[in-house]
Chain A
Amino acid sequence: MPTTLVAPKEALIAVIGNPNTGKTTLFNKLTGKRQRVGNYPGITVEKKTGRLEISGRQINLVDLPGAYSLAATSPDERVAVDVLTGNSDLPTPDLVVCVADAANLQRNLFLAMQVADFGLPMVLALNMTDEAGKLGIEIDVDKLSAKLGIPVVPMVAVKSQGLDQLKLAISAALERPQIPLTVNWPAGVTDALDTLEAGLANGEGEPLTHAELRRILFDADSALLERTGVHKDKIRPLLAAAREHLFKAGMNPLAAEALIVYKHLGSLLADVEQHHDTGKVPFSDKLDRVLTHRVWGLLIFLGVMYVVFQSIYAWASPFMDAIEWLTKLVQEPVSAWLASSPVLQSLFADGVIAGVGGMLVFLPQILILFFFIALLEDSGYMARAAFLMDKLFSWCGLNGKSFVPMLSGFACGIPAVMATRTIEDRKSRLTTILIAPLMSCSARLPVYVIMIGAFIEPHYGAKWAGFTLFAMHLLGLTIALPLAWFFTKFMFKGKSQPFLLELPPYRWPAPLNVIWRMWERGGQFVKRAGTIIFAMSVLIWALCYFPRPESVEEQAKQEVVQSEQAKGSTLTAIDEQLAKADSPLALALEHETASAYLEQSYMGRAGKFIQPLFAPAGFDWKITVGVLASFPAREVIISTLGIIYNLGTDVDEESDDLKSRMASEHWTSGPLKGRPVFNVPIALAIMVFFALCMQCGATVAIVIREAGLKWGIFSFAYMTVLAWIGSVLIYQIGMRIFA
C-alpha cells in the first residue's frame, strides 16, 4: 500500500509555570525571533505567542502568564484558565509544557496538579537543576516521571541545556500524548461536585467538566462562573450548599484544595526528592541580610535609584543631541527640495520631520530605562525594591509593585503605564495607571528650566532656582499618593491590595534576555506612542499653519519697511537688505511674518478664544496658544513661544533671547493692560500647569490602550482640571505674596 506523507497538523502548546522559573527564557529559546506580543480580545492581558518547528511539524506556542495557582483572582490567572479550557480565542491546547523550578518542586507542582486536573497532555520541564544541585537537592527524574505519568525533562534553560531533549519530548508527546495522573479527591469533594453538577443541570450553560466544577468549588470568584449560564446571585446559594459537604467532611473550602494537593505532593515527592544539607548558607541569603536590612537596605536602594537615573540622563544625552542634530540635518535638504511648494515644505520640515524627531528624541531615555528595569528584574533585585517600598504604597491602597511604574514615570509616562502590567490586581493597576502620569517626566524639564531660568534665578539666585526645580519634581508625587488613596476609597470601593511576594534567589541576568526585553519594549513604544505623536504633531502643525492668506505677509513687510524708514533708512537700502536672505532685517521680517501668521491661524484664534478660561491663572493669549500647542508634546511650548515672540523656532530652554523677550512682554489690552505678562507667580503657574496636566497625546493613547477609552478620557480630564486648579491657586496666591 503506498504510504501517503501527510504533514502533521499544526499543534498548539501552552507554556505555564510559576513566576521566576525561567519560563520566559525557555520560551525565548524555543521560539527565538518568531514571537509576537499582542492582546487577548476584550481584556488588557498581554498575549505572547511564538512559533517553532520540530521534526517537520509546525508548532504554535502560547506563553501563559506566570501564576502560582489557577484560582483566578487576577485577569492573568483567568486568562490561563480560559486558554486551558479552550475558552479563549485560541483552540484548546494540544499539549501543556509546565516549567518548574527544581529547587522548589513541591510548590511548582501545585500549579501542575491544577493544570493536570483539566486532563490535557503534559510535559514537565524541570528547570534550574544547576541551582537545585548547589542547594543539595537531588531529584530522581525517572521516579518523578513515573509517579506523575508524564515525561520529565531536566534542564538549565538559560544555558540551553536540555533544550534538545525537551524538543524531542514535545515531539514524542504530540505523537503519543500522556495525560498526567491526578489527585485522588476525598469523598467530601466528590459529594460537593455532585451537588454542584445536579444544581447546574438545569442551567443554560454548557455542561462543565469535573475539573471546571472543581475550580468553581475551590476558587473564591472563579472565571468559570460565567460559563455556568446561571446568574451569580443564584449560584451563591448553590455553591454554599456544595461547600457544606466540605465543611461536613472537616474541610474549610478556602483551604481544602491546598491541603489536599500538598498532602498528595508530599507523599509523591517523598522518595523522589532528597535534600542533602550542604552546611552552607546560600549566597542569596547572605546578600539579602544587607539588601533588605532596615537601614542599609534602604540606603543602598536609594543609591541604586540615584545611579539608575543619573545613568539614564548621562547616557541618553549624547544620543538625544545626535537625534536633534540629525533632525535638523534632514530638514534642510527636504526644505530645499520642496521649496517650490511652501505648504508641503512646511508640512514636511516643521510637521512631519519635527514630529518624528520629537518622538525619537525620547527613545534613548526610554530604552535605557527599560534596560535597567530588565536588569533589576532579572537579577531579582526588583522584588526587594517592591518589598522596601511597600509601606509607602500600602496606606493609599496600592502595594510595592506600583513602585516601578511610578519610578519610570520620572523618565517618561509611557513606559510607566506600560510597566503596570506587573500589577495583578485590576483596581490597583488602574489606580497606578491614573496617577503615574503625575510623575514629573523628562519632557516637562525644558519648561521648568526656561521659566526658572528667566524668572526665578535672576531675582532669587541659584539656591532658590534649585529648590523650585526640586519642588516641581516633588509636586506630582505628593499629589499622586493622596489621589491614589482617594481613588481607592471612593471609586474602587476601598478594597486594599494584598502584598505577597516571593523574593527569588539573586541571579546573574542573562545579557541576551535583558537586551531582548529592552528592545521589545522600545519597539512597542515606537509603534504605539510614535504613531500618535506623529499624527498629533501634524495636526497641530496644520492648526498653526492654516489659514495662510498672503495679506498677512504683505502687511508684515509693510510694517517692517515703515519702521525702518522711521529710523531713517532709504527704500533702496531697505530693499537691498531684504533681498539678502541672511541679513538681520530679512530675518526679523521672517520672524515677524511667522508670528503674524500664527496669531491669525486656527490655533492662534483658539488661543484667544480660550484665554478667558485661563485668565484666573494669569495666562495671556500667547501663553494659552503655547499651552494648547503643546498637547501633543510638552516641550513644544518653547518653540511655539519662540514663534509668537518673533524669535523663530530655533529657540530652546536655554535661549537668552526668549527669556529676555518674555521678561519684557506687557499686556496690551484688558484689565492688566500695561503690566508685565510674566512674573514669578505666572512662571510658577505655568510650571504647575505643566506639572499636573496630561499634555501628552501619546500617554493618553497608551492609557486608552491599557485601560480602555473611558479611563483614558477620565485620566485626561481629571488631570487637566487638576492642572487648572493648581495653576489658578498658585497664581492667585502668588500675586498676593509677590505683587
Chain B
Amino acid sequence: MKRLNELQPGATGIISVVNATQHIAQQLMVMGLLPGVHLEVVGVAPFGDPMTIRVKGRSVSLRRADASLVELE
C-alpha cells in the first residue's frame, strides 16, 4: 500500500482511501480525490514540493504533506 506523496512523476494509481483526519482531506475529496479514482503524478515543483497530479481530467497541485493522506491500492 503506497501513499500519494511517495510517488514520483509518471507514476499512476487508484485511490483506495483518503484518511479524513484533517480538514485538508475534505478539500482533497471535494477536488475529486475519492476512493476508486485513477490519478497520475505529472510533476514536481523546483524544490521538490508541491506536486501536480492529474485526476478526472484536471490538474491539481498539492503539498506532499497533504498528499500523504491519500492511500493508493
> What are some 18 contacts across the A-B interface (CB < 8 A)?
A68-B27, A68-B31, A71-B26, A104-B58, A220-B26, A254-B26, A259-B34, A262-B29, A262-B34, A288-B59, A289-B42, A292-B43, A297-B43, A391-B47, A499-B62, A500-B60, A502-B61, A503-B59
Interface string of A697-738 (1 = CB under 8 A from B): 000000000000000000000000000000000000000000
A388 contacts across to B, CB distance below 8 A: 45-46
Interface string of A379-394 (1 = CB under 8 A from B): 0000100011011101
Q: In the bound complex, what is the Cα–Cα distance between A288 and B62 (angstroms)? A: 16
| 8 A Cβ contacts from B15-64 to A | 18, 20-21, 23-32, 34-35, 42-50, 52, 54, 56-63
Q: Are A68 and B46 in contact (CB under 8 A)?
A: no
> Besides the contacts A68-B27, A255-B20, what 8 more A-B pairs have beta carbons closer than 8 Å?
A107-B31, A255-B18, A285-B54, A289-B42, A390-B49, A390-B61, A390-B63, A500-B60
Q: How far is the CB of A175 from chain B (nearest CB, A)?
A: 34
A255-B43 contact in complex given A68-B30, A103-B57, A135-B57, C-beta closer than 8 Å: no
Across the interface, A502 reaches (CB within 8 A) one of B24, B31, B35, namely: B31
Nearest chain-A residue to B48 (Cβ)?
Answer: A391
Q: Are B23 and A107 in contact (CB under 8 A)?
A: no
A9 in contact (CB, < 8 A): no
Interface string of A274-316 (1 = CB under 8 A from B): 0000000000110011001111011000000000000000000
Q: Are B31 and A498 in contact (CB under 8 A)?
A: no
Q: Are A292 and B62 in contact (CB under 8 A)?
A: no
Q: In the bound complex, what is the Cα–Cα distance between A295 and B44 (angstroms)? A: 10
We find that the number of chain B residues with CB closer than 8 angstroms to chain A is 35
B73 contacts across to A, CB distance below 8 A: none
Q: What's the dominant secondary structure at chain B's contact region?
A: mixed
Q: Are A387 and B63 in contact (CB under 8 A)?
A: no
Q: In the bound complex, what is the Cα–Cα distance between A216 and B43 (angstroms)? A: 37
Q: Are A289 and B31 in contact (CB under 8 A)?
A: no
Interface centre among B43, B46, B48, B63 (most CB of A within 10 A): B46
A619 in contact (CB, < 8 A): no
Nearest chain-A residue to B36 (Cβ)?
Answer: A266
Q: Are B20 and A294 in contact (CB under 8 A)?
A: no
Q: Are B42 and A292 in contact (CB under 8 A)?
A: yes
Q: Are A106 and B32 in contact (CB under 8 A)?
A: yes
| 8 A Cβ contacts from A559-614 to B | none
Interface centre among B26, B34, B35, B42 (most CB of A within 10 A): B26
Nearest chain-B residue to A262 (Cβ)?
Answer: B34
A298 contacts across to B, CB distance below 8 A: 46
What 7 A-B pairs have minimum CB-CB distances, sorted nearest first? Answer: A258-B29, A391-B47, A254-B20, A503-B59, A255-B20, A252-B20, A298-B46
Q: Are A500 and B66 in contact (CB under 8 A)?
A: yes
Interface string of A49-88 (1 = CB under 8 A from B): 0000000000000000000110101000000000000000
Interface centre among B45, B48, B58 (most CB of A within 10 A): B45
Q: Are B56 and A106 in contact (CB under 8 A)?
A: yes
Q: Are B30 and A391 in contact (CB under 8 A)?
A: no
Q: Are B52 and A503 in contact (CB under 8 A)?
A: yes
B46 contacts across to A, CB distance below 8 A: 294-295, 297-298, 388, 391
